[in-house]
Structure 1
Amino acid sequence: MKKGVLLVNLGSPESPEPKDVKKYLGEFLMDERVIDVPLWARTLIVKGIVLNTRPKASAAAYKKIWWEEGSPLIVLSEQLQDKVQENVDFPVALAMRYGSMSIKKGLQELVDKGVDEIFLVPLYPQFAMATTETILVLAEELRTEFFPNVTIDSLPAFYNNPEYIGVLSDSIARHLEGKTYEHLLFSYHGVPERHIRKRDITKSHCTIDGSCCATPSPAHEFCYRHQCLEVTRLVAEKLGFEDGTYSSSFQSRLGFDQWLLPYTDRTIERLGKEGVKSMAIVTPAFVSDCLETLEEIAMEGEEIFQEMGGQGYTTIPCLNTDAPWVNLLSKWINNWATSETVSA
């Protein structure tokens, strides 16, 4: 069998123009694992409300961070693909869950090169319905319908892989070197609380009451909240942070449902109100910088902090194409090719 790799990230509009943003948001938000309500309700919310109000504002946000080469997420993902390809001896393709760089196109690219054994790599450290799961489900549907002779393996969530924690910790330490900060905030992409309960394989553990994520349980295999908080704990332990000098929060909520707490924007506001004059923020739910990190965190976050009296605001980049991250990802891929364990 000929092996190949498919890296998969979230996706991006074709341009920062409202019409392209609207098309992208329509595909993204109509995913039943993103807005997990009945089709009639999802259609009403997305097509009746969101797509008539949000594209213009989202397009303005995209324009703030758009690079000359294109969408930062796409550009950085393509650079990651190129660098990984240099380290492995079989084809490496790139796809996005949403947008024109579809998973079907990525699979087809590999099949056209003679590949019939594919290692699917969702570029998310933590498991979530709206990220890893939707990629895996769609890939299997496409395989069944269009590529029945292909086998697909996938990289498990790697949030607690010691080597990943080492790479992430070293990156954080490097970017904080010489910087003055009183508090480090770990900001993760938010999800509705119901997503956590839906993926609780025990049907009883995930009470989201402040203790469940710290209590050992089989539910943690698919618990996004636990996996985020575990990244914070492991990095803090690795870097020797003192209690009270760091915390976790969740960003990018949508609608009126209860999402994971605390919210990032309100946490930044609170820190400023409490007299914190300098802070740093890192976004370990992403491996590549994108709208949520470059605009929501780096721009909006700093504006909130300064309005509350804060002064020094340091944004730590995602791993992007850092050599240690490229080397680690390449190692996992090569381990898969030789049937070795690829994650903790």
Structure 2
Amino acid sequence: MKKGILLVNLGTPTTPTAPAVRTYLARFLADRRVITLPRWVWQPILHGMILPTRPYRSAALYRKIWTKQGSPLLLYTQKQAQQLQALLPQQVVRYAMCYSAPTVPTALQEMQQLGVTDLTVIPQYPQYSTTTVGSVFDQVAAFYMQASALPQLHFISSFYQAPQYIQALANQIKRALVRRPNAQLIFSYHGIPQKYADHGDPYPQQCTTTTQQVMALIGKNVPYSQSYQSKFGPGQWLRPATMQLLKTLPHQGVKDVVVITPGFVADCLETLQEIGHENRGYFMQNGGRSFTYLHPFNGSPTFTRLLATLAQS
């Protein structure tokens, strides 16, 4: 039996340019798990309103976070895969992206060619949502619907309350609170439309469970809030919105915050730009004094060990 592990994250434009962002967004926003509107309603909006304009604005934001080596999300995902491969040398470790290269079908094809007969797929989203983990499952299932043979398949649908994950978040926060003992904690998760939760998506409950289990290790005397970021489109999303919360808190006497994004395992546009720059600006402009952003796991060996545990559970 030959074992393999496939890490899957969302994806990223190949370059911080409008054409590359347009290609990426066209794939992402065409996913029926992400946008559930009827095609006849959504396609004119996507191709007539969003794709002609949004890529230019998004590309400008990507340029602010781009590194000499490329996309932070891609670089950290590569590093996570490399570190996991070093930790588990007897297994085949690869990574894939839902909406950019290397694609899920490409990675699964390579696993087949390498003779992997026991495969663990780990979506890089701690909390399950139909918009993220559900989409990864769809792509894996679609590949094997056309395959002549299937490996023994293990699919990690979430790890929102895995002890190592909770402990790692708590340790990161505790270190920050040593420096900012009077800060209020903000747990900022990526948002989803409220109607998805109303239809049974367990995402908000899993986010709340993560927050509660982390706070059980932090202590009852530390003030905290939970919020949701990255709203897209006019519909109602999960509330409260991180942006609105950070605008309001200084007027309520909260001048010092520590912000953590437990739904992300690697820095990307939504963390570096939206939290680290935009939301920091909202907080400071409204009277905040100190804004501390805690980065995701990125290349942390702690996260690599967590991935190894998930793969072997």
Q: Does the CA contact (< 8 Å) of 2:176 and 2:258 recur in 1? A: no
Q: Does the CA contact (< 8 Å) of 2:81 and 2:95 recur in 1? A: yes
- Where do 4+ consecutive residues of structure 1 move more than 4 Å? none
Q: Does the CA contact (< 8 Å) of 1:124 and 1:287 recur in 2? A: yes
Partner letter of residue 233 of structure 1? Answer: Q
Partner letter of residue 179 of structure 2? Answer: G
1:148 is aligned to: 149
Q: TM-score, normalised by structure 2?
A: 0.96
Q: Deviations for 1:208-260, whole angstroms, at most 9, x for unmatched residues? A: xxxxxxxxxxxxxx5100000111111111110426x1010000011111100
CA spacing shift, 1:74–1:241, aligned 2, 3 Å: farther
1:9 is aligned to: 9
SS at match of 1:185: strand
CA spacing shift, 1:147–1:295, aligned 2, 3 Å: farther
Q: Does the CA contact (< 8 Å) of 2:165 and 2:306 recur in 1? A: yes
- Report the RMSD for the aligned CA atoms in angstroms: 1.4
Instruction: Determine whether 1:238 maps to 2:217.
Output: yes
Post-superposition shift, 1:84?
0.5
Structure 1 residues 46-125: aligned runs within 5 Å: 46-88=46-88, 89-125=90-126
Instruction: Determine whether 1:33 maps to 2:33.
Output: yes
User: Identity of aligned pairs, percent?
Assistant: 36
Query: After alignment, is 38-47 or 67-76 more displaced?
Result: 38-47
CA distance in 2 between counterparts of 1:294 and 1:71 reads: 12
- Which of 231, 249, 257 in structure 1 is aligned with 2:227? 249
Gaps of 5+ in 1: 201-221, 336-341
CA distance in 2 between counterparts of 1:147 and 1:313 reads: 54
Partner letter of residue 137 of structure 2? Answer: L
1:211 is aligned to: none
CA distance in 2 between counterparts of 1:177 and 1:43 reads: 50
Post-superposition shift, 1:163?
2.4
Structure 1 residues 290-305: aligned runs within 5 Å: 290-305=268-283
Q: Does the CA contact (< 8 Å) of 2:123 and 2:136 recur in 1? A: yes
Q: Does the CA contact (< 8 Å) of 1:275 and 1:309 recur in 2? A: no
CA spacing shift, 1:21–1:266, aligned 2, 3 Å: same
Structure 1 residues 96-245: aligned runs within 5 Å: 96-146=97-147, 148-198=149-199, 200=200, 222-242=201-221, 245=223
Partner letter of residue 304 of structure 2? Answer: V
Q: Does the CA contact (< 8 Å) of 2:8 and 2:122 recur in 1? A: yes
